[in-house]
Structure 1
Amino acid sequence: MAERIRGHSVSTVAARGWGGISNGKLLALAQTEFDVFVTVDRNLAFQQHLPSFNIAVILIAAKSNRITDLIPVVPALLASIPTAAAGQVVTVGP
């Protein structure tokens, strides 16, 4: 999916070696390197106090996290990145 998000620096949790890190620590790490954190975890916004983080969260609300369900959401994801605000969640998807 990363190759479809053109015009932005994209990395995955796994590529960063951040697998297994809890959401709060994950957001703390991500905010030091990125402006936006993209996730399919619908519980993230409820589990974390997002205003305490200096990173915007974009939630992809697709049917599943299978690539065939995520690809149709890419245009909405790309459109939401410029206006995503730190400490807030933006939901994109069908």
Structure 2
Amino acid sequence: MRILLDENVPVQLKPLLVGHAVRSVNDPDIGWKGIRNGRLLERLEGNYDLLLTADKNLCFQQELIGRAAGIMVLPTNRRKQVLALAPQILAALESVSKGGCVLMQLDGTVSNWFRGE
């Protein structure tokens, strides 16, 4: 799976998502840092399968139906807590459908905010 970390997600998570191609908007060669959510979702199309973010409003503010990428919203952007959730994040990746949005809780459980295709 091709995963993009939003700028509010610690980049230290990248090597923990084993078996996936993980990049960050903060990577200098990506050049997407500071791009607003709607534009970011447009750029995801065809390039990434999933956006990992801590922005709890993103799924409500943007139209996700018909998008090729899904979104997983993390419960926090605090590095220590996000890194501790890495096993649960890995386990939940396949539960995110195209155009869908799932919310992860601090205990690692996930719930569908919106199920895509």
Would you say same fold, with TM above 0.5? yes
1:67 equivalent in structure 2? 79
**1:66: Cα distance to partner?**
2.0
Q: Give ranges in structure 2 of 5+ residues lacking alignment.
A: 1-12, 107-117
Moved over 3 A (4+): none
Higher relative contact order (CA 8 A, sep 6+): 1
Identical counterparts, % of pairs: 30
Considering fraction of residues, name the structure with more strand: 2
| Inter-partner Cα distance in structure 1 for 2:22 and 2:48 | 9
Deviations along 1:57-90, one digit per CA (max 9) or x if unpaired, are 011113xx12101112211211111231011101
How many residues were matched structurally? 92
Residue in structure 1 matched with residue 71 of structure 2 by the alignment: 57
Q: Of 34, 53, 58, which residue of structure 2 is paired with 1:20? A: 34
Q: How far apart in 2 are the matches of 1:25 and 1:32?
A: 14
Asked if structure 2 preserves the Cα contact closer than 8 Å seen for 1:73 and 1:92, the reply is no
Counterpart residue type for residue 84 of structure 1: V
Q: Tell me what 2:14 maps to.
A: 2
**2:97 corresponds to:** 85
